[in-house]
Structure 1
């Protein structure tokens, strides 16, 4: 049979497996002449190519990017930086949209954002009154020297103590403080960032406000995403976002990988909508619908599902009190002596008619069985992924089994990086294999059965087989080198093991990369090549 996936590399030969008698276990996927799955544009799948399409940023770099955008907007709109920042924040940091609406109707934009009319100069953004007699603060009703009063360009003056309390209370309530308006309830003038900072001085409120400001930049940008790992403050910048539903895997410098599009755990080849629907379906109550379909009927009047818990056919809906017949769902008032009595429905639907209720219940059972098939395998790989993470932690965590391997084999720690790579590969492949079942559930129902479903299951089965070889090598064969009583290990023996594990890691990685690429492209490449090879 022709191979479905071809994985070949001149630097990795089958004799690498001679020591354990595994030679040839990938031989059926080594011929380029037989291949039906090849990837001509490797940039679509290679990890290095994907990594070059995103970057991990610290907070200082993020702030610098925001200030660069503010400076650009200030130059374009001839506005002070505080006004430009307020405008960019209002329009989700979309400079193109801001430019369009600003030059289309500046007055309308100023009113919406809370900027004063253009007649006020840049130097009049805030004022601190001085000289003269004391003034009454309209908030605390205390008299203050005019130098202790503060007003923005709207002229509504209040004491600095009340202004500061007003700003701090807004910050304590959340990010809405970025849109804080004048303390006068009848005034809609925005409190600019520079005004807020001058009122706050130093302290936690100032730091919190600056955090809100930075977060507004990240949250408003389509090309920036916070790393969702607990305690991580890094930001991922995506240079080439593929689309609103297309998954795009990124990895933070902290080691956490996630889908840039939806912010959830990596879930390729399933798209973001599939992942969302699948997680909802897997929730505790998700399959109640299947049970309802199989064991209940809808009330003919209010459509609420009703379970039959007594033997008689006379049903009364607990919600709308409608009385009906369980067998035919007709009104119970029509079931008198003329039709055979209240407890015997003899309505005849016609020769050859199907039992719609039985058909509906059978459909519910089949639907549940199909779901359980995919869920059990999805969950099994999820469990295996968790076990792989435990193995990774054993070798690189507190137990530090890697040191034991180094001691038992005489190999320096610098030469054991291949173990970490193998552990990481198992984890990543388990995640991918896990989500192929979600992909299969939504893409290959009985209406889509056929060659593509068979191809998918063949590829999925091969992927699982290859991954099992790698996982077993990591979880079983590697473990013996970390045990206290492993005995003497010759250099030749460990070199053979290293060669085997390195080879398995490479082969499995390439297999899964190509598998994901083909699935994300709907197996169209295989369909085309299969058709051409058959003709």
Structure 2
């Protein structure tokens, strides 16, 4: 969309100071003393906003049910048991359509590749040969003699000949139960494997689920870990599922809206696993937490730029030069262009970097010797300095909100103390002082939004669209700072009623400003309103 697009006040979502006072008055008249206005706001959270995506939260049991349904589906089609169907699906990364095509073409090859059965050998002795040998033994005179006692089983792993319990896969390689248990436990708990091959050398037969559970016996911790690994593999193979990245959380999120890369150019798929309201993350990328309103590709670019040492190089380029003789880095600390390197004592001109002795009294002639090169050099330095200053403008504000968000833990502690103080100094109950905690929650949420708005603004092309974005950004930032100041005010019984009303009204206003920021940005993505000053993944022509 062209940059001469004009917006009405309604499209901008503006509120001036009078609008804010009217909102506060209306909100105050509509609310009761127990903070019902905030409860109404919270109830509205159940309605999907334009910047939100549809998703479902799944427990590990729910994901296991999905796996079971796929296993039963394949088992019914191929006429195999659940163990075989599970191994086939895991081999094909749970792609049922691809598995059906491959299996129908060559079932034997797929079964061997999946580790269900060992490769067939043309010259291997079969049952008929064993029967003939038995019949020959019976017909010979020596068969009447008593057969020697069978040799004791010796485990090929531990070489213990006293073991009486053994286990073997379809390949027939037998090992004692204790060795199987130790082997499977190590593979599961230390290596995190869910497709575990036979212990025999060069054997590709894979242990089915029933075999693993039988060998592990009563080791519930390892069994639980094995089941978790199966779920993780299933989730990792599905574009519609994503495991919650928070430590020790076993929940999964299903989001079809963000399954394709093309969708990530118009939405920011922030989801919550459901196990904890704080477990918010982006379904479309591995960036930690909620990075709305900026797209995944832009957020990745910004974080990479912040990590990249190129900004340090830009600063050095903007403020220093290298000595032409010894290549030492020199910083100009005065107005004179006659420079002397402290290391090698080489004298040169700061403008053209040429020897100072050649300048004589008419040192300005260095520009005329290679005027274009001199101008280009100075322009390049100016551009580098301007680029650095622009980056620092956005980075400092981004980092400031990030630091403020990290300090939210301390703010929560201070707020809880204030809430306890309110109960002591006033007649408010614990429920009635919850407005303070709700205000802190809103401040933390809005600071996260503001942090990422600066990352987005850095890459936005100049124009009316960016002006709209920065106006909404300014209004939200001002509202957040006002609410933060209210939270820092001392608790006084005489002004408690007024403070409570102000905090409640400002919390509602801040939440509204945050919604305007997110909704307008989301609408801009869908309308193609935003233009970028650098190539962004998914927006290439």
Q: Structure 1's 431 and 152: CA in aligned 2 closer, same or farther, altered over 3 A?
A: same
Per-residue CA distance 1:355-403 (angstroms, 9 max, x = gap): 44444333322221111011011112223333455333433xxx45334
CA-CA distance at 1:215 after TM superposition: 2.5
Matches of 1:462 and 1:498 in 2, distance apart?
17
Match of 2:404 in 1: 384
Task: Write the distance in 2 (CA, Å) between the matches of 1:384 and 1:138.
Answer: 61
Q: Which of these residues, 214, 233, 248, is aligned with residue 269 of structure 2?
A: 248
Conservation of the 8 A alpha-carbon contact between 2:282 and 2:290: yes
Specify which of 187, 209, 227 is matched with residue 170 of structure 1. 187
For residues 232 and 142 of structure 1, the distance between their equivalents in structure 2, rounded to whole angstroms, comes to 42
Alpha-carbon spacing, 1:13–1:168, altered in 2? closer, same or farther (3 Å) = closer
Aligned to 1:30: none
- CA distance change for structure 1 residues 136 and 504 in 2, over 3 Å: closer, same or farther? same
Match of 2:203 among 187, 192, 209: 187
Matches within 5 A, 1:105-124: 105-116=106-117
Residues 389 and 427 of structure 1 are in contact (CA less than 8 Å); yes or no, is this contact kept in structure 2? no
CA distance in structure 2 between the aligned counterparts of 1:495 and 1:148, rounded to whole angstroms: 73
Distance 1:94 1:490, change over 3 A: same
Structure 2: distance between partners of 1:118 and 1:432:
58
Q: 1:407 to 1:221 in 2, by over 3 A?
A: farther
Tell me how far apart the structure 2 counterparts of residues 111 and 329 of structure 1 sit (CA, whole Å). 72
Whole-Å separation in 2 of the counterparts to 1:503 and 1:327: 57
- 1:455 and 2:468 correspond: yes
TM-score between the two structures when normalised by the length of structure 2: 0.69
CA contact (8 A) 1:269 1:519 kept: no
Alignment check: 8 A CA contact 1:297 1:307 kept: yes
Using the TM superposition, give the Cα deviation of residue 108 of structure 1 relative to its aligned residue in structure 2, in angstroms: 4.1
The match for 1:514 is 519
Mapped pair 1:17 → 2:24: yes
Instruction: Pick which of 511-520 and 372-381 moved more.
Output: 511-520
Q: Which residue of 2 aligns with 1:200?
A: 216
Q: Residue 272 of structure 1 is aligned with which of 296, 299, 302?
A: 296
Provide, for residues 66-120 of structure 1, a one-character-per-residue CA deviation record: whole Å limited to 9, x for no partner.
Answer: 323322332233322222222333333333443344335444433332221799x
Matches within 5 A, 1:151-162: 151-162=168-179
Offset at residue 133 of structure 1 (A): 5.1
SS in 1 for 2:281: strand
Aligned length: 448
Matching of residue 84 in structure 1 with residue 85 in structure 2: yes
- Match of 1:287, SS state, is helix
Contact 2:435–2:500, Cα closer than 8 Å, also in 1: no
Relative distance call for 1:184 and 1:361 in structure 2 (3 A) is same
The superposition leaves residues 33-84 of structure 1 with CA deviations (integer Å, 9 ceiling, x where unpaired) of: xxxxxxxxx955266xx4xx22333333333333233223322333222222
Tell me, which stretches of 5 or more residues in structure 1 are unaligned? Answer: 22-41, 120-130, 300-304, 316-325, 336-345, 527-535
Superposed displacement of residue 293, structure 1: 4.0
- Residue 322 (structure 1) aligns with: none
Contact 2:269 2:284 in 1 (8 A): yes
TM-aligned CA deviation for residue 438 of structure 1:
0.5
What TM-score do the two structures reach when normalised by structure 1?
Answer: 0.70
Task: Describe the SS at the equivalent of 2:93.
Answer: coil
C-alpha deviation, 1:461, in angstroms: 2.0
Alignment check: 8 A CA contact 1:293 1:364 kept: yes
Cα distance, 1:143–1:243 mapped onto 2, change above 3 Å: same
CA distance in 1, matches of 2:506, 2:84: 59
Task: Provide the C-alpha distance between the structure 1 equivalents of 2:285 and 2:303, rounded to a whole number of angstroms.
Answer: 13
CA contact 1:87–1:98 (8 Å) conserved in 2:
yes
Q: How much does 1:462 deviate?
A: 2.6
Q: Which has the higher contact order (CA 8 A, sep 6+)?
A: 2
In 2, Cα distance between equivalents of 1:469 and 1:67: 53
Whether 1:281 aligns to 2:305 is yes
Partner residue of 1:374 out of 386, 390, 394: 394
Distance 1:400 1:71 in 2: 56
* Equivalent residue number for residue 137 of structure 1: 155
Q: What displacement does 1:347 show?
A: 12
